């Protein structure tokens, strides 16, 4: 918690107050405020592909369910929106309205392991590769093409984020992490 004594250098240690004007802050108070500001805003550590601009979006973080499906709406020469299925529930559609929706359902134990995206002004197309050697195409792969894959072997797609405008998706990024561990059903070993 920020206290009044943190605002000026020397206020707590009995030395001369070095901030004569209002608004001066101690470095540690400013660092705390900066940290809080960054935590409150939309920030991602991952890379976004595409020119960007528009409203930010991100799929829901779900630590109990994996991505089990994906819907991609494709309009006239561009991808308009994406929607992930987490377990048995569809997350909120992210992006612009309209377009023809294509739906993919992943098999049990199947994960998205690599993605290719194509951009011009908007996202034009996507190709998804899965852990069971299946490939899904959405839109057209023309324009500038990027590949996205996890930094660590064994990681899978767990989230999608980006920016969209009135017509469609203008940038997209992918969050990778390890799949959820299956709970064991074996009884604990007892030593007698």
pTM for the full predicted model: 0.71
32 and 53 inside one domain: no
Domain membership flag for residue 84: yes
Domain membership flag for residue 190: no
113 and 65 inside one domain: yes
Q: What is the 3-state secondary structure (H, E, C) of 28-63?
A: HHHHHHHHHHHHHCCCCCCCEECCCCCEEEECCCCC
26 and 79 inside one domain: no
Q: How does the average pLDDT of the chain come out, rounded?
A: 82
Which tokens hold the place of 49? 């592909």
Q: When comparing pLDDT for 46 and 30, which is higher?
A: 46
For every residue of 121-184, DSSP letters joined together read: SSEEEEEEEETTS-EEEEE---SEEEEE--SSTT-EEEEEEEEE-SSSEEEEEEEEEPPPPPPP
Summarised one tens digit per residue, pLDDT across range 97-129 is 999 999 999 999 999 999 999 999 999 999 999
28 and 64 inside one domain: no
Summarised one tens digit per residue, pLDDT across range 68-84 is 999 999 998 999 999 99
22 and 54 inside one domain: no
14 and 84 inside one domain: no
Rounded average pLDDT over 26-38: 47
Looking at the structure of the chain, the number of domains it has is 2
For residues 141 and 68, give the distance between their C-alpha atoms in angstroms, rounded to a whole number: 24
Summarised one tens digit per residue, pLDDT across range 40-56 is 434 445 689 999 999 99
Summarised one tens digit per residue, pLDDT across range 55-64 is 999 999 888 9
Domain limits for position 13:
4-40
Report pLDDT for 183. Answer: 54
Which tokens hold the place of 171? 């940038």
Domain membership flag for residue 183: no
């Amino acid at each position: 918690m920020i206290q009044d004594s943190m605002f000026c250098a020397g206020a707590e240690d009995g030395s001369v107050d070095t901030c004569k004007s209002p608004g001066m802050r101690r470095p540690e108070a400013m660092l705390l405020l900066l940290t809080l500001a960054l935590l409150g805003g939309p920030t991602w550590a991952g890379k976004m592909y595409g020119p960007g601009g528009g409203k930010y979006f991100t799929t829901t973080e779900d630590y109990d369910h994996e991505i089990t499906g994906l819907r991609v709406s494709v309009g006239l020469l561009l991808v308009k929106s994406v929607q992930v299925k987490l377990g048995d529930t569809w997350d909120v559609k992210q992006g612009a309205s309209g377009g023809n929706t294509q739906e993919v359902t992943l098999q049990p134990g199947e994960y998205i392991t690599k993605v290719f995206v194509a951009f011009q002004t908007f996202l034009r197309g996507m190709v998804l590769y899965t852990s069971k050697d299946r490939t899904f195409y959405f839109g057209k792969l023309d324009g500038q093409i990027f590949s996205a894959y996890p930094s660590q072997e064994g990681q899978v797609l767990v989230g999608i984020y980006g920016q969209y405008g009135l017509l469609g998706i203008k940038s997209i990024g992918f969050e990778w992490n390890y799949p959820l561990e299956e709970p064991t059903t074996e009884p604990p070993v007892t030593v007698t």
